Amino acid sequence: MQTIPAQTGQPLSADSTSHPRGLYLLFATEMWERFSYYGMRAVLVLFLTKAMMMDKAFASKFYGGYTSLVYLTPLIGGYISDRYWGNRRSIMTGGLLMALGQFTLFFSASNYGPAETHALSHWLLYLGLGVMIVGNGFFKPNISSMVGSLYSATDKRKDAAYTIFYMGINLGSFLGNTITSLIGDKEGHPEAFRWAFLACGIAMLLSVVVFNWGKDKHLHTPTGEPVGLTPAQSGGVMGIYALLPVLLAIILGILWLDSAMFPTIAPLLGVAVIGIAFMIFSDKSLSGADIKGIMVIFIVSFFVVFFWAAFEQAPASLTFFADEQMDRTIFGYTLPASIFQNLNAIFVVVGAPLMAMVWTALGRRGAEPPSPLKMAIGLGLLAAGYLVMCFGVTNLQPGVKVSMFFLVALYFLHSVGELCLSPIGLSLVNKLAPVKFASLLMAVWFLANAAANYLAGYMSSLYPDPKSTGPAPQILGYQITSLYDFFMVFVVSAAVAAGLLFLISGKLAKMMDARNYPAPTTQA
Ligand code: PHE
C-alpha cells in the first residue's frame, strides 16, 4: 500500500515549505482512485471491441458518452456536497460506489460476448459504468477542492500543493494502466479483461480505506478546524441516499439513449452551460472586474474543449492504432496496445518539476507568459504531436506497421502540452472565480472536459476502418479515407484553436488584470 510520507517541520505553519499531512492523505486517496479510473479506461475500448464485439465506431461513441458523463455529474455531486454532505461523506460514498461499479464490470467481463447472446453481460456493463459515473460525481470535485482547503487563502504553498496532487493523479494512472494492460490486455484472450476490472475494484477500495483511516486525523485547516465535515444545520443528509437510485436510473437512461438511440448528452451539456451562465451573469452583485474574470473562465474553457477532445483520443483511436497499425515488439516481446497510454503519466511526472523550473527561470527574466498564452502553447504542442503522427502514416501501405517512435513522440508533445494547460487552467479558475461562484465555475471547467470527452468519442468514431465496405467517414464535408486524413483533422483543429487563443491572449490577460490577478503561477 502507498505509505503516507512522514512529515518533518511544522505542518501547520504557513511559512514552512513542507506540506500538511492532509495533502499526502489526499494524494494517496486520489492516487488509488485514478489507478482505478485510468486503469479501467485504458482497456475499456479493447474490451468493448474484442470481448463485447462492438464495432469501433460504436465503442468510440460509447466511451465518449461514459467519460463525458463522468465529468458532468460533478455538477450534482458538488452541489450536494456544498449543501448536505460535506466533502468527507461525499468522497466515502462516491468511492464505495465506484468500487461497486468496478466489481460489476468484473462480473460483466466474466461472461462476455455480443449483445444478442450475452444480454446480461451488456446490462451489467451499463450498470457498472452508470454506478461509477454517479460515484465519480461525488468523489472528484470534492477531493480536488479539499486540497485548497488545507491552506489559508493567501498561502504561497497552494500552487505547489496542486502540483504534488497532480503527481499523485499521474502516479495512480501509471500504476493502474500498467497493471491492467499487463493482466487484462492479452492478445487472443478476451477473458482476461475481467482481471483488469477486479484490480481496479480493489484499488478503489484501498482508496476508501486509506481516506477513512486518515480523514479525522489529518484533514484540518492551518488553524486546526476540521475540513470537509457535513455542513452545520444541513437537514436531509439521509434523504439524499434515497435519491441515489433515481440519479442512477437517469444516468443509465441517458447512457443508453445516447449510445443506442440518438445523441442525448450533447444537448444536455449545452443546457448545463447556458443554465450556469445565466445563473452567474444574472447576479447583480458582481462587479465589472468580476464579470471580466468570469468571462475569461468561459472563453478559456471553450478553447480547452479542443485540447481535451484531441488529447483524449489516447484510450480510443490512438489505442486502436497501437493495436492494429503499430509495431509493438521490443527486444522480442510484444507490448500490449493499451500500455502506451502510460507514456503520458510518465512524461507528466518527470516533466512537471522541469516545467516549473522553466516558468520560474522565465519569470526571473520577467518573461513568463501569461496563463492564456501558456494554454495557447499547450494547444500548439497538441497540433505538433499529431503532425509528427501524420509523417508516420503518410502513404501507409496496407499490412505495413508503423514504428512506435511516432506514438511516443506524440505522447511526449501532448504531455508537455498538458502541463502548459491543465494545472494552469485549474489555478486560473481558482483565482478568477468570485468566492460566491467558486464551485460553480469549477464545474464549468469540468463541463468543458465533459464536452471534450464527448467530442473525443465522436471524433474517434471517424477512425478509418480498412475492412469497412461502407462510405468513408466525413467531418464537415472532409472525407477521411486514410489514417493521414484522420490525424490531420486534429492537426488542423488544434492549430486553429491555438492560433485564435494566441491572438486574443493579450486581451484576456488584460481582462484578468482587472481583477488584480496575481503574477502568473510559477508552478506547473
Ligand atoms: N489527468 C487529469 C485528471 O485525471 C485530467 C483532468 C483534468 C481531469 C481536468 C479533469 C479535469 O485529473
- Rounded CA separation 294/443 (Å): 13
Q: Say how many Å lie between the CA of residue 444 and the centre of ligand 1.
A: 13
**CA 206 / ligand 1 centre spacing (Å):** 20
Give the span between the Cα atoms of 388 and 410, in whole angstroms.
7
For cell 489505442, what's the residue? 319
Q: How wide is the angle at C-alpha 154 spanned by C-alphas 148 and 160, nearest 5°?
A: 50
Nearest atom in ligand 1 to the alpha carbon of residue 348 is 1
Residues 6 or more apart in contact with residue 400 via CB below 8 angstroms: none
Cβ pair 292, 515 in contact under 8 A: yes
Q: Hey, what domains does the chain have and what are their CATH numbers?
A: 21-465+472-513 (1.20.1250.20)
Q: Render pLDDT for 409-442 as a digit per residue (tens, 0 to 9).
A: 999 999 999 999 988 887 788 778 887 777 778 8
How would DSSP label each residue in 378-390? HHHHHHHHHHHHH
Burial of 9 by CB count in 10 Å (0-12 exposed, 13-18 middle, 19+ buried)? Answer: exposed
The three cell numbers locating residue 61: 461513441
Sign of CA dihedral 126, 129, 133, 134: positive
Give the global pTM.
Answer: 0.89
Name residue 330's beta-bridge partners.
Answer: 333
User: If you measure from the C-alpha of residue 115 to the centroid of ligand 1, how many angstroms do you get, rounded to a whole number?
Assistant: 32
- Sole residue written with cell 488544434: 494
Q: Say if residue 218's pLDDT is above 70.
A: yes
Ligand 1 atom 12 nearest Cα: 169
pLDDT of residue 355 exceeding 60: yes
DSSP-based three-state secondary structure for 7: coil
Q: What are the pLDDT digits (tens) for 265-295?
A: 999 999 999 998 998 888 888 888 888 889 9
Residue 85 is given by DSSP the state I
Site to probe by mutation for ligand 1, drawn from 33, 173, 422 as the one with most ligand atoms within 8 Å of Cβ, is: 422
CA 381 to chain centre: 18
Q: Please name the residue whose Cα sits nearest to atom 7 of ligand 1.
A: 422
pLDDT tens digits, residue range 88-132?
Answer: 999 999 999 999 999 999 999 999 888 888 899 999 999 999 999
Nearest CA to ligand 1 atom 3: 169
Parallel/antiparallel/unpaired status of strands 333-334 and 329-330? antiparallel
Q: Give burial (CB, 10 Å; 0-12/13-18/19+) of 115.
A: middle
Residue 477 CA to ligand 1 centre (angstroms): 32
User: Which residues line ligand 1 at a C-beta cut-off of 6 Å?
Assistant: 34, 169, 422, 446, 449
pLDDT at 169: 94
Judged by average pLDDT, the poorest of 59-68, 217-226, 431-440 is 431-440
What are the beta bridge partners of residue 326? 402
